[in-house]
Amino acid sequence: MDSTLPKMFSHAVAIDPSDIDHMGHVNNSVYLKWVQDAVIDYWQSVAPPDAVARHLWVALKHEISYRKPTFLQDNVVAEVIAEKMEGARAYFTTIVRRGQDVLSEVKSCWCCLDAVTQRPARLARDVASRFLPPTP
């Protein structure tokens, strides 16, 4: 794998019967929960435990493009890529897939917070590098 490419994280998505709307597919609002779960899982899986304990993440913005409906029986994965970090902000792209089919694409912006003060906090460079490719 090319170390200059963004690192991708896969998060299995569980579809609950309560996620299904009156049209027989996953309600659009459920995708936001999936993205939040996937980004937080990414953080907790990649960051060192002390950094996880010291930081929280809050979503500032989500831009969702819905491509295809998702159904209860579908096997779905959310693929998360950290695109960039600027100060306490991080920008992610999350692709929700059923096999090769793209169900949705979500661009989101998150703010890293100090867990105690709940004020914006920059990640240490070595922690941020676990998500992002090295800069040339």
Q: Which domain holds residue 14?
A: 8-128
Domain membership flag for residue 25: yes
Query: One digit per residue, pLDDT tens: the chain, 136 residues?
Result: 445 446 889 999 999 999 999 999 999 999 999 999 999 999 999 999 999 999 999 999 999 999 999 999 999 999 999 999 999 999 999 999 999 999 999 999 999 999 999 999 999 989 988 887 655 5
Residue 83 lies in a domain: yes
Residue 2 resides in a domain: no
Count of domains observed in the chain: 1
Phi, psi (deg, nearest 5) at residue 48: -65, 150
Q: Which CATH number covers residue 97?
A: 3.10.129.10
What is the tens place of the pLDDT at every residue in 31-49?
Answer: 999 999 999 999 999 999 9
CA 10/CA 61 separation, integer angstroms: 21
Retrieve residue 13's tokens.
């998505």
Q: Are 91 and 108 in contact (CB under 8 A)?
A: yes
* Cα atoms in the 13 Å half-sphere on the side-chain side of 14: 3
Reference 35, options 69, 1, 65, 74; nearest CA is 65
Q: Is residue 134 part of a domain?
A: no
What phi and psi values does residue 24 have, to the nearest 5 degrees? Answer: 90, 10
Nearest to 31 by CA among 19, 40, 44: 19
Confidence at residue 7, expressed as pLDDT on a 0 to 100 scale: 81
Residue 134's pLDDT is 59
Contact 11, 41 (CB under 8 A): yes
- Structural domain contains residue 135: no
Whether the CB-CB separation of 118 and 56 falls below 8 Å is answered with yes
In a domain, 1, yes or no: no
